[in-house]
Structure 1
Amino acid sequence: MFALMFPIFPAVGYTPISEGVGAWAHNLVLPGLTLGTAVAAEITRQLRGSLYDVMQQDYIRSARANGLRGSAVIAKHGLKNAAVPVVTVIGFQVGFLLGGSVIVERVFGLPGLGDLAIRAVLQRDIPMIQGIVVVTAVVVMLVNLAVDLSYGYLNPKVRQA
């Protein structure tokens, strides 16, 4: 819609960052929205459900009874305790984003790891495919490590175990 009916953004193509940050970012808006919309919806849904559960806890009622404002209760007590399942979902979404980038790069004509993977498969370039799989696996493992390490910050009970 934003590329064809209302030509605000280009439908295909890529401008290197060396030709200007504005033009580069302008070409990445639609692919970014395409990848990010589903992920943002899932994270928002998870945050809402988790925050709803946390806000029903006794310590939240106690904080409100002690006179803390609603926004302070959410910021100090609610979000940090509701973040553990949300961080888990964010970790899972990285694999979705990497897989989705293959399709998005092809549709929008962007150069990237996904486009390289498709070209390697079509040319039967086995070493390139293996390299892409290894890089993708390392990225997913590093994100999962970061998610696991963040649990200790978000939940002190995990730190003691």
Structure 2
Amino acid sequence: ITALPGLWFEAARRVGFDVAAVIAVRHPQEVIASAAKYVSTSPELSSALWLTYNLLAERHPRGVQRVFVDYANLLHDWLREMNRIAGALEIELDTAEHGALHEFLTADLRRQRHCGPVTDLFGADWMSAVYAALRGAAHDDPLDTATLDRGFRVVPGE
């Protein structure tokens, strides 16, 4: 959905759905470590992909209701995050399958853990700046769109 949101949003609207976005935020070093382990990509490629797709995930749903969710928080206390999502998007989420969700969304799904600083590989602080802006939004801080816009302008092909 990150690469083709216009198509998906329009399709949803045509069949009568309201469009909203839940944007997951995960520490770049966790994503890089996961990519290295499961698909053998270089840190440079994984970093470029993380930066590009996170900037797209933030930029494309501007103008629709959206909420940012910290991946670690979701796995640590999914019910709290679901309530946060419901409140931010002004929707009611049915938790009838509470037991199934509780069994599925567990902290052990977070196989890569990193709490330290972001490693910037491209001679600039774009990864750390973008992550700080997105992580702040996932913790209910105001979204720093100026930083994200600057990052978006430097992403190749955008």
Higher helix share: 1
Give the TM-score, by structure 1 length.
0.28
* Larger RCO (CA within 8 A; separation ≥ 6): 2
Higher strand share: 2
